[in-house]
Structure 1
């Protein structure tokens, strides 16, 4: 077996509401074989991974998967379960998996869950799936790997997982935010988080926020500056000073008196901090170890405490104890350390709540000062220190003392955080007892004082103390960042469908902008913020959505969400307030495993399902596939408010909905109407809808109804919607969709029609406006469409135009040069033998050839690959806006000859 490739779906997707990895697996020699065909396979695999016996599989109970293996199942399914079991063994808590055919014998897609905040760039999913495939292949061959080899592979994966893992501090903030419904995004493999969206979004980096002052961070990073600032403010601190030479450090020992502490002036996490120094030699050695530029302070007597201050409130306090072991009279110090490190709470770095104790040079020096060594056997009950500082990062532990903090100590800590200028601060103190009042003192104090102030303090000791109550300090930080219970979200609309989704998205954004909102918009043409394009290109996937949602200037988001990005990368958001589905027709079939409209509808349904409870789902009542979505369990009306739009209020679904007091947006008596129950409120006359060509293009009115429904759901007033709809300028606000220009006496109609239904709709409009005999076309179609869809498009074109210029996209999308144009020409001639068809190289030649074929009064439909290039060329040719004269009144009654019911024969049938 072999993994051919892996892709990550970063958000909710068609498989799960959490991230997954999708691996393309080729079974090779195991194609067509099942587990029951290989004698002893199940038992050998269970010896290697006993935990598989607990897997449920479809049975819904432990042992279900083992029963499946014994009864016979394919090896892709086995690889899925082995990958999940390996994930569990390395502490990567996932449980979902699915295996589906990839369309060829022996080719499967294995889908496995990924931890929600694991970096998309993490190699872990790929490593686990590779390990699973190798293990299953070996077991199938009868060569079950020895335990040591598997254990080594698992150990390597565990080490990788710990390096990739988010630390407890960041994890607590993520959990607190999600518990409040705040969306969270992690940046790459960092501890940098974005909480919330748009102008409500906040940033956090571990226990530091975007409101943490840079000056405060710099002060806290410089221990001498911190000490002097606090001392001059009357805060009890240890006497001391800075030293840039060993001689200066020794002089401070003389002045201060032993014992002293030497620490790097800009050190962190207790590294190279030396305590209990009493001689000049001790100080010189500590100075050298710290790398010079140190702070020398009198060592205060007492216990070590850390107090956490968040936004002017003491939220937690812990007593810290340096790394140590307790003798048992039998074990060596090294054995006691190894036993302590077996605690599953301990790990390397900061991935776990405690850190492993290292028997390094610092530990050996501390042992030597106690007349001890790693091989010594301390007496039972003897406490043996491995570090003198109490930092958790060097193996220390913490016990919760929050409820014991004396009010004087709490007040002192609040004052210190304010003096330094930190919204979140960890205040380190040396006190006899944190429950007692502060002792009096002055410059010569030897007990009771602040010894350090920390920006971005670690939260581990408060989240998982070895003794005492855990404190939800992550929630305290999130509460301070989002006061008043805010969920950090902005109004958000997702728009999907086969046709019309770009227009509806642009219209919706235009309506919301009329409310005074700065709107972020994603479409197939790019990303715009407050009407300004910030990114060009197809922007209908999750990265573009995140570009908008992460912009602090955005107050509302309208996200065109297409099939491709959804299938290949998942959604770029968890929930939206409004979801709009325009229609579902035959397009993109044969791509990404979609071979029917049913499959396409399943993908589109995800946008409907991810409308939040209480949100609004706007559906096209005229489309049978869209109507079918309302019947899905996760789209039931009792969870979401459904608003329909359509051409006729008498349509059964609309009539029933209105009869129950629901709301719909419909065409009635020549008006766009908001209907609620029996009440009708007119918005705009159909003939006044921009892009409707005096009513000749009813699809433009339907797009306007969908956008009006979305905007009204987000609070836009009736009058505002009516006024903004009337002022929408297609050429300016919706370029490339029914853009009308004129060159001389020939009209050009530029549109991105690229499937049978869209082409039919455009041609119907042109027939009504110009007459059926005045239309010709410059045609290109995307090469990644299935042959039958291209043929259906060609047949629709043949019914609608008698003259055509064919050209090909610059990107053939997997086709050979000339293949698409040849197929389209053959199908058009077969449908209409008298057709006048010519071919051209590129859009420039095609447009110019079409203009030569056109007579005065004709209209040329220009279908394009890249809009900007076509518009630039037309400007060179002297094209100007067509203006109102594009709609000859005498032609408005012309009847189309086009059969718009034509659909590809493999597209599937509408639901009954």
Structure 2
């Protein structure tokens, strides 16, 4: 078998409302073969991948694939299931698959679900299909090849390019609230909402996060100064640009002290509770040359902060929109002895927890035995090969950061009002809408201590990590991502603008231009895509054949757009899917036999299935406008996926006697036709004149029937209750 190519459909498509990848396979020598033609194949394959035994296949129950292979199935179908199984083995959730004929004998398209936010250029699925082909062909004659090493490489690649924990939680929270989400490339940057309601988040930083606040949070000296000026408790500190200055700070402040980089992050280069001059000098050297850096001092290196050590417990408090959203008590990286295992073995045991991963890709970070950890071990009288006593706690780090292997315990319900007010004031002082406050207190559940130095705000963090609150090591998780989305979209705030999507064989561009004109006259700044280009507010902003998903995304990402009218052509649907998740109004002008033989489109029915996606992807209670005089268009009203959305179906026809329109009106529906020289809205026996036919531009007094039909479709789309973009709004757009 051979993999010819893989293409991605990033938006809703004919197979799934979520992204899919389509792998085009040539079965070559296995063309016409079935699994039963190769004795022992199924047994060898399942022995190598036991998870295949639980695949449902068409049977809709575990074991369905096994039954299919026992009866005899083709090898494209088997490759589909093996790819999905391999995807699951690397932790990549994908459950939907389908294999369809794609041209001549032995040619198949294997359709595979992709995670929603997987980067469009990701090679992961292509590599998984490649491994699947080798596994399947290997099982024909013997045990499949060992692919563990390659799967490990693919897993690492997938982990590196997937959204971080915080950003993934924000994406999920937005979708739960009905807010459209698009990942920008392979970044942890999300575009939320459409048009004038579009917002952006980058991890826990929003597009409303003040740049000045970010700068302040990134400069520990300045942050401490502003907090102190506001009367908030901060440790007494000095900036040292040399070991001599660090020792002078130790003498002035008094032991114990903390040494850390001026602009450090994630706990790197932080040394806690130092009392002796040699410790301070060594800590200065590492902090000055390690992570963070900072302004340069003398020849000895970058400046560091030496500050008083605040005793107590470590806490991280998340402030969102001027209120405490969550709080966690943090504990530094450690292992607990059992009297038998060495420190190194205990570290391996802790790292076996699937919740621990590299960097920030899991709720917890793996423990390491690096220089900092080995130094602290030595000060406790241990080495990696030492066997700690049963119950003995061996510390690997002193700083309680998740990034260095620490753990968290949710204490949100315990936060005393005085501590909450302290954190809210701190966030307001630096001007942050979303802020993480690191502080040390004897107990966050108690009133703030009155004695100086007994409590202190250690840091103010911009773009704070959310994983300690989402999935704490102890206690229940908090929906802090939802709190951030609610800050961007308070209750009742829309995240969408009205969208009209127009497809069909003829008349799309004219219909789109008519609808956009009506919306502009109605006072809405309208974004429009068509084969003539992208327009915003009647101004051409991008000259191209703009009838595909990229152009739709261009319009929906424009914060000046108040309504969108999108020409949605066959080619874009087939090659990339839709550029939006759902529309308020869908228009199908007609469907005729164009582009047959292109992109696997072999018949009129194939074209109908493609273009019907536009009618199927309207919001519940939206509007679907269909041509009553075109059987292919009119028939879409009976498709199950259309009826499931319960739209207001509006037929249009040049003649009021068109059978489909007449029957629709008799059943109490509404439609649009030409009567007595007028474009007319009909509902039962009621008639409302809209516009004289002779006034339609380009219709030559009504002689250009196709232009009149386009005008009817446009009026049908625009007439009705106004929609402000909120789910459940009116079914019309003007």
Task: Please tell me the TM-score bracket, short chain as reference.
Answer: over 0.9
- In the alignment, does 2:662 pair up with 1:655? yes
Indicate if the aligned counterparts of 2:317 and 2:327 stay in contact, CA closer than 8 A: yes
Corresponding position: 1:581 with 2:578:
no
Match of 1:101 in 2: 101
Secondary structure of the structure 1 residue equivalent to 2:39: coil
Residue 719 of structure 2 corresponds to 712
What are the within-5 Å matches in structure 2 for residues 193-592 of structure 1?
193-290=190-287, 291=289, 292-442=302-452, 445=453, 447-592=454-599
Secondary structure of the residue aligned to 1:486 is coil
Equivalent-residue separation in structure 2 for 1:76 and 1:637 (angstroms):
32
Match of 2:627 in 1: 620
CA distance in 1, matches of 2:347, 2:33: 50
Aligned to 1:46: 46
Give ranges in structure 1 of 5+ residues lacking alignment.
717-723, 726-912
Maintained 8 Å contact 2:6/2:22: yes
1:76 alignment counterpart:
76
Question: Following the alignment from structure 1 to structure 2, what is the Cα–Cα distance between the partners of residues 35 and 300?
Answer: 69
Query: Which residue of structure 1 aligns with residue 602 of structure 2?
Result: 595
Q: Is the 8 A contact 2:240 2:303 kept in 1?
A: yes
Say if 1:714 and 1:206 are closer, same or farther in 2 by CA, change over 3 A: farther
- Deviation readout 1:516-567 (Å, 9 max, x if unpaired): 1111111112111111111111111111111110111111111100000100
Structure 1 Cα separation of the partners of residues 639 and 555 of structure 2: 29
CA contact under 8 A between 2:134 and 2:144: conserved in structure 1?
Answer: no
Q: CA 1:518–1:271 in structure 2 vs 1: closer, same or farther (change >3 Å)?
A: same
* Larger RCO (CA under 8 A, 6+ residues apart): 2
Aligned CA distance change for structure 1 residues 66 and 638 (closer, same or farther; 3 Å): closer
Structure 2 residue matching 1:574: 3-state secondary structure: coil
* 8 A contact 1:180–1:487 mirrored in 2: no
Tell me by how many angstroms 1:153 deviates: 2.3
How far 1:211 moved relative to its partner? 0.3
SS in 2 for 1:490: coil
Deviations 1:618-662 (A, max 9, x none): 111110101111110111187111111111222222122222332
Deviation at 1:487, TM superposition (A): 4.2
Deviation, 1:115, is 0.5
**Post-superposition shift, 1:222?**
0.5
Question: Structure 2: how far apart are the matches of 1:126 and 1:199?
Answer: 37
Instruction: Determine helix, strand or coil for the equivalent of 2:206.
Output: coil
Residue correspondence of structure 1 range 775-790 to structure 2 within 5 A = none
CA contact (8 A) 2:20 2:114 kept: yes
8 Å CA contact 1:616, 1:713 repeated in 2: no
2:525 and 2:624 mapped to 1: Cα distance? 23
| 1:824-878 deviations in Å (ceiling 9; x for gaps) | xxxxxxxxxxxxxxxxxxxxxxxxxxxxxxxxxxxxxxxxxxxxxxxxxxxxxxx
Distance apart, 1:48 and its partner CA: 0.8
- Structure 1 residue 704: Cα displacement: 0.8
Secondary structure at the counterpart of residue 701 of structure 2: coil
Q: For each residue in 1:474-517, what CA deviation from the matched residue of structure 2 results, as whole angstroms up to 9, or x when unmatched?
A: 10000010012334000111000000001101111111011111
Paired with 2:502 and 2:610, the residues of 1 have a C-alpha distance of 13
CA separation in 2, counterparts of 1:409 and 1:195? Answer: 33
1:144 Cα offset (Å): 2.0
Q: Which runs of 4+ in 1 moved over 4 A?
A: none
**Residue deviations 1:131-169 (CA, integer Å, cap 9, x gap):** 111111111232522xxx322222222212211221221
Q: Which residue of structure 1 aligns with residue 137 of structure 2?
A: 137
Residues 451-476 of structure 1, C-alpha deviations (whole Å, 9 max, x = no match): 00000000001000111121000100
How big is the alpha-carbon RMSD for the aligned residues of Structure 1 and Structure 2?
1.4
Find 2:689's aligned residue among 663, 682, 694.
Answer: 682
Distance 1:174 1:93 in 2: 16
Give the whole-Å Cα distance in 2 for the aligned partners of 1:669 and 1:244. Answer: 89
8 Å Cα contact 1:20/1:112 also seen in 2: yes
CA contact (8 A) 1:491 1:714 kept: no
2:409 partner SS: strand
In 2, are the aligned partners of 1:523 and 1:538 still within 8 Å (CA)? yes
Are 2:5 and 1:5 equivalent residues in the alignment?
yes
Distance 1:89 1:467 in 2: 27
- Please report how far the alpha carbon of residue 713 of structure 1 lies from its aligned counterpart in structure 2 after TM superposition: 3.6
Q: Which has the larger radius of gyration?
A: 1
SS at match of 1:483: coil
Structure 1 window deviating more from structure 2 (263-272 vs 133-142): it is 133-142
Asked if structure 2 preserves the Cα contact closer than 8 Å seen for 1:261 and 1:273, the reply is yes
Q: Is the Cα–Cα contact under 8 Å of residues 164 and 189 in structure 1 kept in the other structure?
A: yes
CA distance in 2, matches of 1:393, 1:218: 22
Contact 1:326 1:383 in 2 (8 A): yes
**Given that residues 425 and 454 in structure 1 are in contact (C-alpha distance below 8 angstroms), is that contact kept between their aligned partners in structure 2?**
yes
Superposition pairs of residues 10-21 of structure 1, within 5 angstroms: 10-21=10-21
Q: Distance in 1 between matches of 2:644 and 2:282?
A: 74
Unaligned runs of 5+ in 2: 290-301, 724-732
Q: Show CA shifts across 1:715-770 (max 9, x none).
A: 39xxxxxxx99xxxxxxxxxxxxxxxxxxxxxxxxxxxxxxxxxxxxxxxxxxxxx
What is the DSSP-based 3-state SS (H/G/I as helix, E as strand, rest coil) of the residue aligned with 1:656?
A: helix
**Conserved? CA contact 1:82–1:132, under 8 Å:** yes
CA distance in 2, matches of 1:259, 1:538: 68
Q: How far apart in 2 are the matches of 1:281 and 1:405?
A: 39
Provide the secondary structure at the position in 2 that maps to 1:694. helix
Structure 1 residues 129, 637: CA separation in 2 closer, same or farther (over 3 Å shift)? closer
Partner Cα distance (1:244, 1:654) in 2: 83
- CA distance in 2: counterparts of 1:524 and 1:624, whole angstroms: 25
Report the Cα distance in structure 2 between the residues aligned to 1:487 and 1:388, rounded to whole angstroms: 46
CA-to-aligned-CA distance 1:369-394 (integer Å, 9 cap, x gap): 11111110000101111111111111
How far is the alpha carbon of 1:424 from its aligned partner? 0.3
CA contact (8 A) 2:316 2:328 kept: yes
Alignment correspondent of 1:630? 637
In 2, distance between residues paired with 1:380 and 1:167?
37
Cα deviation digits, residues 13-48 of structure 1 (max 9, x gap) = 011111000011111221221111111100110111
Q: 2: distance between equivalents of 1:705 and 1:253?
A: 82
Seen in structure 2, the aligned counterparts of structure 1 residues 638 and 600 have a Cα distance that, compared at 3 Å, is closer
Whether the 8 Å contact between 2:317 and 2:438 is mirrored in structure 1 is yes
